[in-house]
Amino acid sequence: MATRTSSFHRHAIDHFEPQDTSDDPHAQRRMRGQLEQIDYTAFASNKEVIGAVLGHADAQKFQRMAVAAAMARAQWVKEALALSEAINASHEQISRLGRLRQAYEELAEAYEAMRRMVERGYLPYRAPAT
């Protein structure tokens, strides 16, 4: 049995949710319709802007992102291992370790963001030709 964990943190967008005391089904339906319109507007905007900026996703783009994140992770851990052998790490060495960790986290977040863009339909995915 395998357990998968992730250090990815999603920052939830806080949507205001009023306490609707109205029992009027027409008002509730109207509100749901308005919220669906708002959500569709956000979807269409994301799809248009992201597609214009990024074009499309494909296996090569995902592989490049994955390799960049893996390299950054390896460099971060390599540096941490080297520091673990030092008796007293300097402030500069610790700062460098932090920058390496941040680089890895940023690349991993970007990979996850691109994956979510494909999953949500904002970014078209072109499968390799067979």
pLDDT digits (tens, 9 = 90+) for 10-36: 555 666 666 655 788 999 999 999 999
Provide the 10 A C-beta neighbour count for residue 69: 20
- Give 115-120 contacts, CB < 8 A, sequence gap 24+: 115/62, 117/46, 117/50, 117/54, 117/57, 118/57, 120/43, 120/46
DSSP string, 98-123: HHHHHHHHHHHHHHHHHHHHHHTTSS
pLDDT at 38: 96
pLDDT at 124: 96
Residue indicated by tokens 């357990």: 3
- Cα-only R_g, the chain: 22
pLDDT less than 50: residues of the chain: 3-8
The residue among 94, 90, 64 whose CA lies nearest residue 76 is: 94
pLDDT at 5: 45
